[in-house]
Structure 1
Amino acid sequence: MDAELFQADLEAKPARLRELSAQLGHLWAGVDTDRPILLLGMGSSHYAGGVVAARLRAAGTPAVAEIASNDLLPRPRPGTLVIAVSASGGSTETLDAVRRLRDADPGGAVTFVALTNRAGSELESSCDVAVPMLAGTELGGVACRSFQHTLATLLALPALAGRTPWPETVGKAAEATEDLLARRDTWLATTAELLLGPHGTHVAAPARRLSSAQQSALMLREGPRLPAVACETGDWSHVDVYLTKTTDYRLLLCGGSRWEPELFRWTKERGSTVVAVGAPAPDAAYTLRYRHDEDDGVRLLTETLVAELLAADAWRRSAATA
């Protein structure tokens, strides 16, 4: 893992997104996706799967996301489509889950798809079909573009892509990403000072974009090794609010939840620090807007870049002083 190369991976996001946008209409060609779907993955692959499964269910497609290490995997019915997600194509737990499910399906009634960023991987050879993420090699060793491309590729599934002009949305996300990158000198130092506190950083996002909070917290843990925790915005008042009374509480809020007023009631009363991203927030210490942030799909594909750039900057500074 390398901090400078991680930064370069982030800067390559817009170009890679545009390349993906041009291919989205073809990635699922030849795959019968009009069936129940089981998504498997670990880490950020599972984060993306959880959000996509919820959106599939809301669109009327039976779908569930399971962490691949689960000993209690559901037994897929005949005709189920199992989508195994691993950027490297070599996640041990995901490979094991595919093997277990294949063993439970000796008649071959279940179809297995490998969604991976590495051609010729073991996961590809374990599945019936391969769908590429097209994120390019992540030289920094951190799954940043591949997380973004996992979401974009899964949301191109016909059951979801038919509800929105998805290639256009991915193109807008490229523009939004460019906007945040181009203006980082105007917001990065301020957000770092506000969010990287002595007791760590918390991240909240609406349930429909929970993966943004999970991935953002992971980026702070994985690169600069900073304590960071994710939470769903509505659930925050039930599980995270307590720490506002006893710690120097710093929250990165991915905006857009209708449950934010209760969150702000507590953070304002207790003097906690909130940085809001992507939506108006009068009670936040700082609000960061970006191009096209009124589009929920653009938010989903873009907002993790804020924490990724925070992580890259903190990682590079810690490496320089080591």
Structure 2
Amino acid sequence: MKPEEFLADLTRKPEVLAALAASLREANPWRHLHPLPGRVVLLGMGSSAYAAGVAARRMRAQGLLSVAELASSDLLPRWGGGTLAVAISATGGSRETIDALGRLDDGATVTALTNVPGSPITRLAASTVLMAAEPELGGVACRSFQHTLVMLLALEDHLLGRPAERLAATVEKAAEATAHLLATEADWRPVVADLLLGPAGTHIAAPARRLSSAQQSALMLREGPRRAAVACESGDWAHVDVYLTKNTDYRLLSYAGSSWDDGILEWTLPRRTTVVSVGGDLEGAAYVLRYPHDDEDDVRLLTETLVAELVAARAWIAAEAEAASAPGR
């Protein structure tokens, strides 16, 4: 993995997203699914699993029978014919996901969702949907994570018979929001990084419908600069994460939109916990970061992780520079 190239990958998000929006208008990436499946199983690891979890939750909320499973699990659904299994791997080489395909029912139809044409996973699938995130030279799944979400939203629309225009417009708005955050990075990123990169690590909370944002953000801090980071669902925060606000230098990145924020405020306000709120106001936050179209939940889903990604990229670059200049190097 390469920190400078990771940063460059992030800066290209708006143009690659815009191209994705245009391609969605031209053709439905899931048009090959005939007949429509009765059940959907989403398989992946890491960032792929994060995106899959949110996608499956959304589909179930619309009455579709869909689950997301870690590909490494030995408890995969055995639903037989009429099942669509979407094997998600940005590189197309995730060994756990490839192995899972050999443990599915013979009646399941497999589609590979990948960023690499002709990769190993495509040779085990009946069809392939490409993420169109372009090569990530930094070796970190950032654009591919974002594009995975888009393609799974497109699958949701296809199964429900929705027109492509709504999602294409959302992706364009996410590109605009992403461009704004990149253009204004110098204004917000130093203060956000100072507030969030504490000695006891960073905690990130997001609503259940966007839990992938918290999970991906924590992963970016661990994967790049190797900093301790933990993800939590905003409502569950008051049941599992609250305890550390009492006896640690607790730093919380809160992605806006949860109806359970009062559970967070109950403890962060009296304890004067350091909180950064992104995409909406939160009482007592040390810093609130807003961006265009952050009143639309799907735009938040496709945009907000860039905040943590940029903080992680800059911290990673700084750590590499410090290590390179250390005595004895």
1:31 partnered with 2:33: yes
Measured in 1, the distance between the counterparts of 2:245 and 2:257 equals: 21
1:261-299 Cα shifts (integer Å, max 9, x gaps)? 120120111121000000122321110000100010000
Question: Are 2:324 and 1:320 equivalent residues in the alignment?
Answer: no
What secondary structure does 1:241 align onto? coil
1:221-262 CA distances to partner (integer Å, 9 max, x unpaired)? 000000000000000000000000110000000001010012
SS of the residue aligned with 1:310? helix
The aligned residue for residue 145 of structure 2 is 147
Kindly provide the amino acid, as one letter, of the partner of residue 205 in structure 2.
A
Which residue in 2 is equivalent to 1:46? Answer: 49
TM-score of the two chains, using structure 2 as the length reference: 0.94
Q: Which amino acid aligns with 1:77?
A: G
Give the match for residue 165 of structure 1: 166
Instruction: Tell me whether 1:94 sits opposite 2:102 in the alignment.
Output: no
Tell me, in whole angstroms, the C-alpha distance in 1 between the residues paired with 2:253 and 2:236: 15
Correspondence for 2:234: 233
Q: Over residues 15-55 of structure 1, what are the superposed CA-to-partner deviations in whole Å (9 max), with x where a residue is unaligned? A: 11011111224211112344210000000000000000000
Moved over 3 A (4+): none
Report the counterpart of residue 17 of structure 1 in structure 2: 17
Partner of 2:246: 245
What pairs with 1:104-123 in structure 2 (closer than 5 Å)? 104-105=105-106, 109-123=107-121
Q: Could you tell me whether the CA contact under 8 Å between 2:197 and 2:251 is conserved in 1? A: yes
Tell me the amino acid that sits aligned with residue 29 of structure 1: R
- 1:6 counterpart residue number: 6
Q: Which residue is 2:327 aligned to?
A: none
The residue number in structure 1 matching 2:326 is none
Letter in 1 for 2:177: A
1:132-161 deviation line (CA, Å, top 9, x unaligned): 000000000000000000000110111367
Which ranges of structure 1 fall in alignment gaps of 5 or more residues?
none
User: In the aligned structure 1, how far is the partner of 2:89 from the partner of 2:263?
Assistant: 37
* Structure 2 residue identity aligned to 1:27: P
TM-score (norm 1): 0.96
Please report how far the alpha carbon of residue 76 of structure 1 lies from its aligned counterpart in structure 2 after TM superposition.
2.2
The CA RMSD measured in Å over matched residues stands at 1.2
Q: What residue is the counterpart of 2:126 in the other structure?
A: 128
Contact 1:117 1:132 in 2 (8 A): yes
Distance 1:160 1:276 in 2: 33
- What letter is aligned with 1:180? L
Q: What letter matches 1:231 in structure 2?
A: C
Contact 1:215 1:304 in 2 (8 A): yes
Give the structure 1 partner of residue 86 of structure 2: 83
Does the 8 Å CA contact 1:56/1:160 hold for their aligned counterparts?
no
- Bigger shift: 264-273 or 21-30? 21-30
Q: Which amino acid aligns with 1:86?
A: S
Asked whether the equivalents of residues 37 and 83 of structure 2 are also in contact (C-alpha less than 8 Å), the reply is no
Alignment length (residue pairs) = 317
- Is 1:60 aligned to 2:63, yes or no? yes
SS of the residue 1:90 aligns to: coil
Q: Distance in 2 between matches of 1:161 and 1:47?
A: 25
More divergent stretch after superposition (28-37 vs 200-209): 28-37
In the TM superposition, what is the alpha-carbon distance from 1:197 to its structure 2 partner?
Answer: 0.2
Is the alpha carbon distance of 1:160 and 1:208 closer, same or farther for their aligned partners in structure 2, counting shifts above 3 Å? farther
Matches of 1:27 and 1:269, distance apart in 2: 50
Percent of residue pairs bearing the same amino acid type: 59
**C-alpha displacement at 1:74, in angstroms?**
1.0
Map of 2:207 onto structure 1: 206
Secondary structure (helix, strand or coil) at the match of 2:118 reads: coil
1:185 aligns with 2:202: no
Counterpart CA distance in 1 for 2:238 and 2:178 is 30
